[in-house]
């Protein structure tokens, strides 16, 4: 069994931002009650200071039908070169905020949406984490952040500063 750590909300958010900085592309799995649940690669535009994951996508894609029926999603990030692995379970919101789209627009986004930020079908997908696990095996240890979003959203942390909840890996 490896060494386990729980991160407080500030540490968890910083860890999420660091992992996404190293690996922006994740697998987004929607429609969790279907089998097989559909998944597709998505570029993370940002992990904000509250720990929410932001994406840009065209509303014409199938994932929007999935999200309309069930907003639950799972994000998987694997970065073998840095030995970082992340699973986030959360809920999606679809937003059409032009100012926020302009803030998040990047050269990387233009590869997915060649018509640019003004494309009328461009939407934001905000994933608010409810539960998360991260594995970092660089030093021969495994660390996991558990229920990181509960602490981010509610501010509830354990007596030791760790996030509440048992470690289930």
Residue owning tokens 């910083």: 14
CA–CA dist 26, 42 (Å, integer): 5
pTM to 2 decimal places: 0.80
Query: Phi/psi class of residue 115: alpha, beta or left (left: φ > 0; alpha: ψ in -120 to 50)?
Result: alpha
Q: How big is the chain, counted in residues?
A: 169
User: Does the structure show a pLDDT above 60 at 6?
Assistant: no
CA–CA dist 105, 117 (Å, integer): 7
127-165: pLDDT as tens digits: 999 888 887 666 655 555 444 544 554 444 443 333 333
87-109: pLDDT as tens digits: 999 999 999 999 999 999 988 78
User: Does the structure show a pLDDT above 90 at 5?
Assistant: no
């Amino acid at each position: 069994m490896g060494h386990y750590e729980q991160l407080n909300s500030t540490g968890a958010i910083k860890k999420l931002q660091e992992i996404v900085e190293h690996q922006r592309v994740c697998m987004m799995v929607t429609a969790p009650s279907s089998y097989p649940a559909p998944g597709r690669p998505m570029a993370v535009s940002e992990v904000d200071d509250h720990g929410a994951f932001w994406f840009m996508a065209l509303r014409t894609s199938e994932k929007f039908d999935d999200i309309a029926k069930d907003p639950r999603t799972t994000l998987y990030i694997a970065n073998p070169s840095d030995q970082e692995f992340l699973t986030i379970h959360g809920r999606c919101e679809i937003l059409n905020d032009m100012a926020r789209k302009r803030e998040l627009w990047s050269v990387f986004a233009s590869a997915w949406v060649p018509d640019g930020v003004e494309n009328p079908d461009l939407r934001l997908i905000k994933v608010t984490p409810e539960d998360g696990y991260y594995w970092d095996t660089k030093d021969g240890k495994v660390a996991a952040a558990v229920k990181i979003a509960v602490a981010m959203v509610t501010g509830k942390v354990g007596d030791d500063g760790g996030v509440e909840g048992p470690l289930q890996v």
